[in-house]
């Protein structure tokens, strides 16, 4: 059955037309789904019972079961949601001083194979639809009776390997008649799918772009991230510069520091040379060690040195606060555990 949450408002108008209804009905339905966030069609009280029946026959409203929920002492909540087809996805709610941020998944599993990531080694199943992406935010708002202020596409999956659905999800999230999430409050993170960075630069969506860089050296980056063998750092930087020139927006580069791998001041020097003069920001992440992983976290002392060195040389860098470490909030760990437990 079709998922009614997959449609942006313009598309929903077309759907409603197919049911023989006036376009303004689409606006009403859209508001019920994405603003009021009802869990079933019968709650749509200004819609005739006849149309509600038609909707029920043709569409699923896409609610999620909470398969598991873990709560950290720092307020971070990690959800494992059950999808209609029996698959499960992870989403994380983080509390910051500026509000609540939800980290959404874009796929069930990931094909990218980054060596440090917990999603690697467990099977890729499929991409999520737009509605399935948006529903993560709705389900968390319903569960916590609160409003989410920021969304980051940093959960499981590669957003630019599911480009169309991710862009459509952003359009749905943006719409003032629904969730009304300003584009500046949405970040998309990619491991570096270069052709999609060009597409994204040409797209009329204003959200923030994050690039998972992790090394400024092709040899080290390829050893960490297979995507670097398809699109190397030079090609990646060319695309990033095009994006900046086209959108006049700052890129955020993510750099996960691991001991003796990419955390030396010599690595910082290389990074400075690579990013010099670009409109950007570096987000340093203490790498999270995964089960059987070969990368271990840099010491806090090294991380601070690395940050100060970048800042002293004109590259703005901050260290990402670690949240939810007591509940393994990082990267794919809950889905991984769940699959294991089921075996
Ligand atoms: N596929 C996208 C988004 C998902 S990962 C991407 O690659 O950007 C979100 C971020 O977490 C990325 O920067 C990713 O490199 C990082 N990450 C993944 N595993 C990690 C780990 N074990 N420790 C620290 N950061 C990790």
The tens digit of pLDDT for each residue in 133-163 reads 999 999 999 999 999 999 999 999 999 999 9
Task: Report how far residue 13's alpha carbon sits from residue 23's, in angstroms, rounded to the nearest whole number.
Answer: 5
Distance 299 CA to ligand 1 centre (A): 19
Task: Report whether 154 contacts 332 (CB < 8 A).
Answer: no
pLDDT(337) > 80: no
Q: Mean pLDDT lowest for which of 31-35, 110-114, 204-208, 309-313?
A: 204-208
Contacts of 28 (CB under 8 A, 6+ apart): 44, 46, 47
Task: Report how far residue 220's alpha carbon sits from residue 211's, in angstroms, rounded to the nearest whole number.
Answer: 16
Of all residues in the chain, the percent with pLDDT exceeding 70 is 95
65-71 and 59-60: which strand pairing? Answer: unpaired
Measuring CA to CA, which residue among 151, 122, 118, 146 is closest to residue 136?
151
pLDDT of residue 329: 57
pLDDT of residue 338: 61
pLDDT of residue 321: 79
Alpha carbon of residue 162 to chain centroid:
11
Task: Report whether 310 contacts 282 (CB < 8 A).
Answer: yes
Distance 285 CA to ligand 1 centre (A): 9
pLDDT of residue 326: 73
pLDDT(69) > 80: yes
CB-ligand 1 contact for 287 (6 Å cutoff): yes
**Mean per-residue pLDDT of the chain:** 94
pLDDT(340) > 70: no
- Both tokens assigned to 129: 């639809």
Task: Report how far residue 46's alpha carbon sits from residue 264's, in angstroms, rounded to the nearest whole number.
Answer: 62
Q: What is the mean pLDDT of residues 125-139?
A: 98
CB-ligand 1 contact for 116 (6 Å cutoff): yes
pLDDT(252) > 90: yes
CB-ligand 1 contact for 190 (6 Å cutoff): yes
Measuring CA to CA, which residue among 247, 79, 72, 66 is closest to residue 148?
79
pTM: 0.95
pLDDT of residue 259: 96
CB-ligand 1 contact for 284 (6 Å cutoff): no
Which residue of the set 15, 90, 132, 158 is catalytic?
90
Measuring CA to CA, which residue among 196, 194, 97, 112 is closest to residue 149?
97
- Residue-wise pLDDT for 288-331, tens only, equals 888 888 999 999 999 999 999 999 999 999 998 777 777 765 55
**Ligand 1 atom having least distance to the Cα of 214:** 15
pLDDT(74) > 90: no
Mutating to test ligand 1, I would choose from 106, 117, 281, 289 the residue with most ligand atoms within 8 A of its C-beta, which is 117
CB-ligand 1 contact for 255 (6 Å cutoff): no
Q: Where are the alpha helices (DSSP H) in 258-332?
A: 265-275, 300-312
Ordered DSSP codes for 165-219: HHHHHHHHHH-TTTT---GGGEEEEES--HHHHHHHHHSS---EEEEE---SSHH
CB-ligand 1 contact for 187 (6 Å cutoff): no
Q: What is the mean pLDDT of residues 106-123?
A: 93
Alpha carbon of residue 123 to chain centroid:
19
Mutating to test ligand 1, I would choose from 90, 101, 116 the residue with most ligand atoms within 8 A of its C-beta, which is 116
Closest Cα to atom 15, ligand 1: which residue?
Answer: 212
**Ligand 1 atom having least distance to the Cα of 119:** 19
């Amino acid at each position: 059955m079709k998922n009614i949450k997959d449609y942006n408002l313009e598309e929903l108008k077309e759907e409603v037309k197919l049911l023989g209804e006036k376009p303004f009905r689409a606006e009403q339905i859209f508001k019920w789904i994405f603003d009021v966030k009802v869990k079933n069609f019968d709650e749509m009280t200004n819609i005739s019972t006849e149309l509600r029946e038609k909707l029920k026959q043709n569409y699923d409203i896409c609610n999620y079961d909470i398969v598991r929920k873990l709560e950290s002492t720092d307020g971070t909540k990690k959800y494992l949601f059950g999808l209609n087809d029996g698959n499960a996805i992870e989403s994380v709610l983080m509390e910051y001083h500026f509000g609540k941020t939800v980290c959404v998944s874009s796929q069930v599993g990931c094909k990218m194979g980054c060596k440090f990531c917990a999603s690697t080694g467990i099977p890729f199943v499929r991409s999520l639809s737009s509605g399935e992406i948006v529903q993560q935010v709705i389900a968390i708002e319903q569960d916590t009776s609160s409003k989410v202020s920021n969304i980051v596409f940093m959960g499981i999956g590669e957003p630019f390997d599911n480009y169309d659905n991710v862009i459509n999800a952003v359009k749905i999230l943006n719409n003032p008649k629904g969730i009304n999430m300003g584009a500046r409050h949405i970040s998309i993170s990619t491991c570096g799918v270069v052709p999609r960075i060009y597409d994204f630069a040409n797209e009329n969506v204003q959200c923030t772009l994050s690039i998972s860089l992790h090394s400024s050296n092709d040899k080290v980056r390829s050893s960490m991230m297979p995507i670097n063998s398809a699109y190397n750092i030079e090609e990646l930087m060319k695309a990033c510069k095009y994006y900046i020139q086209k959108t006049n927006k700052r890129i955020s580069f993510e750099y996960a520091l691991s001991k003796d791998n990419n955390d030396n001041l010599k690595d910082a020097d290389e990074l400075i040379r690579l990013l010099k003069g670009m409109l950007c920001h570096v987000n340093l992440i203490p790498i999270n060690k995964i089960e059987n992983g070969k990368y271990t976290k840099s010491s806090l002392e090294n991380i601070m040195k690395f940050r100060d060195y970048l800042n002293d040389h004109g590259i703005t860098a901050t260290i990402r606060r670690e949240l939810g470490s007591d509940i393994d909030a990082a990267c794919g760990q809950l889905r991984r555990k769940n699959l294991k437990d089921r075996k």
